[in-house]
Amino acid sequence: MGHKLDRATTGLISLITGAALPGVALAAQPERWELNLQPAVTPVAEKIGSFHDLLLVIIITITVFVAGLLVYVMFRFRASANPNPSRTSHNTLIEVLWTVAPIMILVVIAIPSFRLLYFSDKAADAEMTVKVQGYQWYWAYSYPDAGDVTIESRIAARTAEEATDGKIRLLSTDNPMVVPVDTVVRVIVTSDNVIHSWAVPAFGVQKYANPGHANETWFKAEKTGTYYGMCQQICGSDHGFMPVEVKVVSKEEYAAWIAQQKAQAGIPSTTTNVASASAAATAN
Ligand SMILES: [Cu+2]
């Protein structure tokens, strides 16, 4: 509910200001006084928004019902109107009701919850893979489908003074992860040292990066733009300074970008996957 309201409000604001015309790339980052989730750009984030709305309805209903009961009991059974208080200690009917009703509510919550959990867990038909590795304190992104090109992504603006040229303090990086739009991207998350957590709220993605262990998740960004996140697991003194920046570009722009990265890394342009890259390396 709140989620839809928020989208309607932002839509209205952009209509008035003309700030976000259709087709203009989105930039998803925290906004001042923001109360709601960031606008969703992946199917998983959409579903998280809907689930959040469902929970909000259930929570509000329960809160209003319990508050109403309290007010009723306070008035109906007040001391001045009841000089001889009731000594009732058991009532089988209401005991069954207050046991069964919460169970039913939990079942209603559990079904979409598990469905969403398994939907977000693994990519059904991944079109490409990016390996995310956490370091103290930056991220590295490898593209195993492109000769294992690896880029390192470090914070670009630690202070307000450094946040020039459109850079966002604590969120922009020197080397963002780049992915094509409308593509199912499998993400393998791991860590080099301590536990980190790779998260992009607009994608509905948050995965722990554990050393010696690969976690899997996926996203399919449906709008081009730049999306930000932060390490979500306290990982040392610079935990607050290892942002996540993902640039979602058109498929053509991505092809050009990855070709350029391969050229810079000296990987033959014909190399597509890690296996053929290592075969080429041993042949030389
Ligand atoms: Cu970290």
- Residue 125 is classified by DSSP as S
The answer, yes or no, to whether residue 3 has pLDDT greater than 50, is no
Alpha carbon distance 145, 88 (integer Å): 71
Question: Taking 70 as the threshold, does the pLDDT of residue 25 lie above it?
Answer: no
pLDDT classification of 11: cutoffs 50, 70, 90: very low
Residues paired with residue 228 on neighbouring β-strands, in sequence order = 245
2 domain residue, yes or no: no
Tell me how far the alpha carbon of residue 190 lies from the centroid of ligand 1, in angstroms: 11
Domain membership flag for residue 31:
no
Tell me which amino acid residue 126 is: A
d(CA 129, CA 201): 20
- Asked whether 172 and 12 are in contact (CB, 8 A), the reply is no
CATH number at residue 182: 2.60.40.420
- 196 CA distance to ligand 1 centroid (A)? 4
CA 282 to ligand 1 centroid distance, Å:
35
In-domain check, residue 9: no
Residue 144 confidence (pLDDT) above 50: yes
Ligand 1 centre to CA of 200 (Å) is 14
Q: How many angstroms separate the alpha carbon of residue 134 from the centre of ligand 1? A: 6
Tell whether 37 is covered by a domain: no
Burial class (CB in 10 A: 0-12, 13-18, 19+), 133: buried
- 147-158: average pLDDT: 94
Residue 243: other Cβ atoms inside 10 A: 24
Average pLDDT score over residue span 179-195: 96
> pLDDT tens-digit profile of 98-113?
999 999 999 999 999 9
Residues 67 and 114 in one domain: yes
Same domain, 64 and 168: no
Q: Which domain holds residue 222?
A: 128-283
Q: 242 C-alpha to center of ligand 1: Å?
A: 6
Residues 160 and 266 in one domain: yes
Identify the domain boundary among 101, 121, 141: 121
Closest residue by Cα to residue 176 from 215, 141, 213 = 141
Q: What pLDDT is stored for residue 64 in this prediction?
A: 98
Distance (Å) from CA 144 to ligand 1 centroid? 23
Q: How confident is the model at residue 273 (pLDDT cuts 50, 70, 90)?
A: low
pLDDT at 19 over 70: no
Q: How far apart are CA 38 and CA 171, in angstroms?
A: 15
Strand segments (E) across 64-174: 128-135, 138-143, 149-153
Tell how far the Cα of 163 is from the centroid of ligand 1, in angstroms. 21
Average pLDDT over residues 114-126: 91
What tens digit of pLDDT does each residue of 201-241 get? 999 999 999 999 999 999 999 999 999 999 999 999 999 99
Q: Are residues 275 and 207 in the same domain?
A: yes
**230 and 270 together in one domain:** yes
User: Average pLDDT, stretch 54-64?
Assistant: 96
Neighbours of 235 (CB within 10 A): 21
Write down the pLDDT at residue 23. 41
Look at residue 28 in the predicted model and tell me its pLDDT.
76
Residue 251 sits in the same domain as residue 151: yes
pLDDT value, residue 267: 85
| Same domain assignment for residues 184 and 219 | yes
CA of 263 to the centre of ligand 1 (A): 30
Answer whether residue 196 is part of any domain: yes
Residue 2 pLDDT > 50: no
Domain count, the chain: 2
**DSSP 8-state symbol, 241:** G
Residues with CB under 5 A from ligand 1 (ion): 196, 231, 235
In a domain, 10, yes or no: no
Domain's final residue, options 66, 95, 121: 121
**12 assigned to some structural domain:** no
235 CA from centroid of ligand 1 (Å):
5
147 with 233, same domain? yes
Q: Find out whether 271 and 277 touch, Cβ atoms under 8 Å.
A: yes
The ipTM is 0.93
- Considering the domain architecture, whether residues 110 and 212 belong to the same structural domain is answered as no
Q: How many CB atoms lie within 10 A of CB 104?
A: 9
Report d(CA 230, CA 199) in Å as an integer. Answer: 6
How many percent of the chain have pLDDT more than 90?
A: 70
Same-domain status, 98 and 186: no
Residue 76: band (very low, low, confident or very high) from pLDDT cuts 50, 70, 90: very high
The residue from 90, 121, 152 where one domain ends is 121
CA 143 to chain centre: 21
Residues 202/220, Cβ–Cβ less than 8 Å? no
pLDDT value at 255 more than 50: yes
CATH code assigned at 54: 1.10.287.90
Strand, helix or coil at 283?
helix
What's the CA-to-centroid distance between 130 and ligand 1, angstroms?
A: 18
194 CA from centroid of ligand 1 (Å): 8
Does 146 share its domain with 184? Answer: yes
- Structural tokens at position 152: 């390192």
User: Do 117 and 132 belong to one domain?
Assistant: no
DSSP letter at 83?
A: S
* Structural domain contains residue 203: yes
Q: Determine the pLDDT at residue 20.
A: 40
